[in-house]
Homo-oligomer: A and B are copies of this chain.
Amino acid sequence: MDLISRIDQAVREAVSLGQTSPAPAKLAAALEYATTPGGARIRPTILLSVALACGDDRPKVSNAAAAALELMHCASLVHDDLPCFDDADVRRGKPSVHRAFSEPLAVLAGDSLIMMAFEILARAAREDAMRSAALVLTLARQSGMPGGICAGQGWESEANIDMRAYHRSKTGALFVAATQMGAIAAGQDPEPWAELGDRIGEAFQVADDLRDAMLDEATLGKPAGQDDRHGRPNAVAELGLEGATARYHDILSGAIASIPSCPGEAMLAQMVNMQARRVTPAPTASRA
Contacts and interface: CB of A to CB of B under 8 A. Distances in A.
Contact of A150 (B112, B143, B144): B112
Contact of A136 (B110, B122, B151, B153): B122
A162 interface: yes
Contacts of A279: none
A88 to B, nearest CB: 14
Number of copies: 2
Interface stretch (A5-13, A14-22, A205-213): A14-22
Contact of A114 (B114, B130, B132, B153): B114
Interface string A87-125: 000000000000000111101101110111011011101
Residue picked from A23, A82, A116, A134, most chain B C-beta under 10 Å:
A23
Interface residues of A, number: 60
A116 B144 contact: yes
A44 to B, nearest CB: 19
Interface string A155-170: 1111000100100000
A108 B150 contact: yes
A26 interface: yes
Given A111-B79, A129-B129, A22 B145 contact: no
Contacts of A136: 118-119, 121-122, 132-133, 136
Contacts of A134: 122, 125
A133 B125 contact: yes
15 contacts: A19-B145, A24-B154, A26-B158, A27-B157, A28-B154, A82-B107, A84-B102, A102-B157, A111-B144, A112-B145, A116-B140, A119-B137, A122-B133, A125-B129, A125-B130
